[in-house]
Amino acid sequence: MSGTPSYVPKSAIGKWFESRLPIMGLVHSSFVAFPVPRNLNYLWTFGAILAFMLGAQIVTGVILAMHYVPSATEAFASVEHIMRDVNFGWLIRYLHTNGASMFFFAVYVHMFRGIYYGSYKAPREVLWILGVIIYLLMMATAFMGYVLPWGSMSFAGATVITNLFTAIPLVGTGVAHWLWGGYAVGDPTLNRFFSLHYLLPFMIAGVVGLHIWALHVSGQNNPEGVEVKDVERDTVAFTPYATIKDLFGVSVFLIVYAWFVFYIPTYLLDADNSVQANPLVTPAHIVPEWYLLPFYAILRAIPNKLVGVVALGAAIVLLAFLPWLDTSSVKSGKYRPVFRVFFWLFVACCVGLGYLGSQEVSDTATLIARILALGYFGFLLVVLPLLGVFEKTKPLPASIADAVLAKTKPAEAVAPPASH
Amino acid sequence: MSSAVIENPNRRDFLFITTAAVGAVGAASVAWPLIDQMNPDASTLALSSIEVDLSPIAEGQIVTVKWRGGPVFVRHRTKKEIDDAVNTPLSELKDPQTDQARVQKPEWLIVSGVCTHLGCVPLGHEGQYDGWKCPCHGSVYDTSGRIRQGPAPLNLPVPEYAFLTATKVKIG
Ligand code: HEM
Ligand code: FES
């Protein structure tokens, strides 16, 4: 609420410190007094869930690194050593491995939320682009992490992904040798991936800082997609309202996470990765981790190497251009009846591509993957730009407060607002 | 303030440009070692050749050997496999090359075991042409290691090799 006073330290030492480094004031204005729209639903708790997961990955990862050995001859055995000998090693590793999946699940919910409610539109373009950068860094981190246990799927994944660069005309092979530090994926590759896998999460943390800074400049979007007009009527204070709701969201999420870790810890793992890497043999059926499957399916759907690689990259990079591809001035899908249908079709394309990415190549699977890939790009490049011109949107509520009150008190909904 | 005429370009412009130029050269020469350290190192480059004994490889058999950290296929081809490769019209090939250009002795085919699509190791005696088929995205190679179907753009490359004796080759 706007009436919340700015932070005034109570103790003498607090005052002394605050006048030298006003950090408590920053925390107070960002996480206590910060006004949040009063109509946020649970999809808005995923930001907090993501922040939690980043912390969890860093804590479990730093611990794993105390026992892990980044060497082609010893890495596989060192992970087995973590699983069998290190006290609670199995727990830490399963938390880290399943944590990566939970992290991606959360980021996908967070991103689809952003698309559905048009959260990338002005004034939140930079906020959105920072998000896409985080997503790219997450994919790089997870990919390199997956290489570390040096199982046969680790090796195949490292080979296929680094070979994407060989599609670059002229310099491609040189770039690949540079990435590998050799003529194939090997010991030097594993060592540098470990170094980068340790580094990137901290870079993610840095970009998350910028992401939250940008968020606190523009304020949060909300399910109605109309901006805050009157802080007094449209918002509530971050603490206690959002803090408690976020904590509840994180707790429910943790139940699911714990269920994976304790009951089905290997459900998302690939049995082939329990076989040590052998550079002379590729497993019969290679699949990436589930969170990369849609992109993998797009790559496989295209019969030409260079075009396939470009399409794979475009599928990700295009997301950064969403603020300009989506030409509609109405943000929330709630008021965009046609967009809403296409949005769910887009989600279906992504899920369908993910499924096909996990299946063996066959003519029908490839055909369907092509149709779905067309759907994916069609949504971004054709549907979104055109809808802004042709779609007839529903009338927007005058304010967040009006929308909320209309829902809770239908009778007196349009009672004259107290003040303006 | 003096009323001296300021020439254009003046001394400041000169200093600015020379400083920036020296700075750019300095930055580039510091950046290069930081980048180049990732290239294959001296010990990797030193492992450049291996010798393979052909005598135990039976006709029809494919042996995979490790050269520069990756697989190389040594295939003792049967008469039929050779004929199939030789009789394939160039017009049917995606990356046209005659079989003769890819072997030194027709019965011995020596090719890299790295799929030219994204680097998986293809499986021998598989696929429509009984050459190789890649488990990753389904590229199919014939008995000359030439790409016939699928996303891979090029034939399996032939490494540099030489017959030291009738039953011994040096690869690399
Ligand atoms: C953005 C956060 C992170 C993500 C998404 C992530 C993801 C992953 C993944 C997918 C694996 C493979 C697990 C497996 O197959 O068993 C892995 C392994 C590993 N990660 Fe991380 N990681 C993150 C942060 C970190 C950090 C901060 C460290 C600290 C050094 C770290 C250290 C390790 C180690 C040592 C392994 C190898 C052991 C193993 O495979 O279980 N990770 N990571
Ligand atoms: S790596 Fe062989 S077909 Fe893709």
Q: Is A149 in the pocket of ligand 1 (CB under 6 A)?
A: yes
Which atom of ligand 2 lies at the shortest distance from residue A159's CA? 1
Q: Of A257, A253, A205, nearest to A45 (Cα)?
A: A253
* Residues in chain B, total: 172
Q: Is B130 left (phi over 0), alpha (psi -120 to 50) or beta?
A: left
Between CA A83 and CA A89, with CA A84 as vertex, the angle to 5 degrees is 45
Residues in chain A within 8 Å Cβ distance of B117:
163, 305
Q: How far apart are CA A297 and CA A360, in angstroms?
A: 10
pLDDT score for B5: 66
CB nearest A177 (choices: B39, B116, B137): B39
Cα–ligand 2 centroid distance for B137 (angstroms): 5
ipTM of the complex: 0.86
CB A168 within 8 A of CB A313: no
CA dihedral sign of residues A261, A265, A270, A274: positive
Beta carbons of B38 and A178 less than 8 Å apart: yes
pLDDT score for B3: 55
Q: Indicate if B137 belongs to the active site.
A: yes
Q: Which residue of A94, A197, A208, A273 sits with most ligand 1 atoms within 8 Å of its CB, as the best mutation to test the pocket?
A: A197
Taking the CA of B122 as reference, the closest ligand is 2
pLDDT band at A419; cut points 50, 70, 90: very low
Beta-carbon contacts of A191 under 8 Å, excluding residues fewer than 6 positions away, are: A70, A71
Per-residue pLDDT tens digits for A138-153: 999 999 999 999 999 9
Ordered domains of chain A (ranges, CATH)? 34-281 (1.20.810.10)
Q: Of A152, A371, A384, A186, nearest to A278 (Cα)?
A: A152
Q: Is B115 in the pocket of ligand 2 (CB under 6 A)?
A: yes
CB A157 within 8 A of CB A247: no
Token pair in block for residue B17: 């440009």
Searching chain A, which residue's CA lies closest to the CA of residue B152?
A305
Report the 10 Å Cβ neighbour count for A338.
16
B46 contacts chain A (CB < 8 A) = no
Taking the CA of A288 as reference, the closest ligand is 1
Q: Which residue has the tokens 């090359």?
A: B97
CB nearest A160 (choices: B35, B44, B118): B118
Cα–ligand 1 centroid distance for A57 (angstroms): 7
Token pair in block for residue A107: 């980021």
Beta-carbon contacts of B35 under 8 Å, excluding residues fewer than 6 positions away, are: A178
Which atom of ligand 1 lies at the shortest distance from residue A201's CA? 1
Q: How far apart are CA A388 and CA A338, in angstroms?
A: 10
pLDDT score for A5: 55
Q: Is B149 in the pocket of ligand 2 (CB under 6 A)?
A: no
Token pair in block for residue B7: 């020439």
Beta-carbon contacts of B57 under 8 Å, excluding residues fewer than 6 positions away, are: B63, B74, B76
pLDDT band at A6; cut points 50, 70, 90: confident
Q: Is A157 in the pocket of ligand 1 (CB under 6 A)?
A: no
User: Mapping DSSP to helix (H, G, I), strand (E, B) and coil, where does residue A32 land?
Assistant: coil
Helix, strand, coil percentages for chain A (3-state, nearest 5): 70, 0, 30
Q: Is A235 in the pocket of ligand 1 (CB under 6 A)?
A: no
Beta-carbon contacts of A134 under 8 Å, excluding residues fewer than 6 positions away, are: A107, A204, A207, A208, A211
Q: How far apart are CA A416 and CA A98, in angstroms?
A: 52
Q: How far apart are CA B102 and CA A103, in angstroms?
A: 49
Select the residue from B126, B137, B140, B155 to test the A interface by mutation, using most A Cβ atoms within 10 A. Answer: B137
Q: Which residue of B112, B117, B149, B156 sits with most ligand 2 atoms within 8 Å of its CB, as the best mutation to test the pocket?
A: B117
B43 contacts chain A (CB < 8 A) = no
Cα–ligand 2 centroid distance for B138 (angstroms): 6
For residue B123, what are the CA distances in angstroms to A178, B106, B132? Answer: 27, 21, 5
Searching chain A, which residue's CA lies closest to the CA of residue B149?
A303
B171 contacts chain A (CB < 8 A) = no
pLDDT score for A60: 98
pLDDT score for B4: 61
Cα–ligand 1 centroid distance for A211 (angstroms): 23
Taking the CA of A75 as reference, the closest ligand is 1
pTM, two decimal places: 0.91
CA dihedral sign of residues A136, B36, A169, B88: negative
Beta carbons of B69 and A285 less than 8 Å apart: no
Beta carbons of B114 and A184 less than 8 Å apart: yes
- Kindly tell me if the per-residue pLDDT of A3 is higher than 50: no
Helix, strand, coil percentages for chain B (3-state, nearest 5): 25, 25, 50
pLDDT along chain B (172 residues), means of 10: 67 93 96 96 86 95 94 96 95 94 96 95 95 92 95 95 94 90
Per-residue pLDDT tens digits for A8-42: 899 999 999 999 999 999 999 999 999 999 999 99
Q: How far apart are CA A416 and CA A410, in angstroms?
A: 14
Which atom of ligand 1 lies at the shortest distance from residue A58's CA? 27
pLDDT score for A413: 45
Cα–ligand 1 centroid distance for A312 (angstroms): 24
Residues in chain A within 8 Å Cβ distance of B123:
284
pLDDT score for B10: 87
Q: How far apart are CA A222 and CA A400, in angstroms?
A: 8
State the number of CA atoms in the 13 A half-sphere of A327 facing the CB: 12
Distance from CA of A397 to the nearest CA of B (A): 51
Mean pLDDT of A367-373: 97
Q: Note if the bond before A395 is cis, omega within 30 degrees.
A: no
Q: Is A107 in the pocket of ligand 1 (CB under 6 A)?
A: no
Searching chain A, which residue's CA lies closest to the CA of residue B135?
A284
Q: How far apart are CA A44 and CA A127, in angstroms?
A: 15
Cα–ligand 2 centroid distance for B140 (angstroms): 9
Q: How far apart are CA B89 and CA B35, in angstroms?
A: 46
B157 contacts chain A (CB < 8 A) = no
CB nearest A286 (choices: B71, B136, B150): B136
Q: Of A196, A195, A166, A160, nearest to A178 (Cα)?
A: A166
CB A49 within 8 A of CB A249: yes
- Higher-scoring residue by pLDDT: A417, A171: A171
Mean pLDDT of A338-353: 98
Burial class (CB in 10 A: 0-12, 13-18, 19+), A350: buried
Per-residue pLDDT tens digits for A215-265: 999 999 999 999 999 999 999 999 999 999 999 999 999 999 999 999 999
For B67, the enclosing helix (H) or strand (E) is strand B62-67
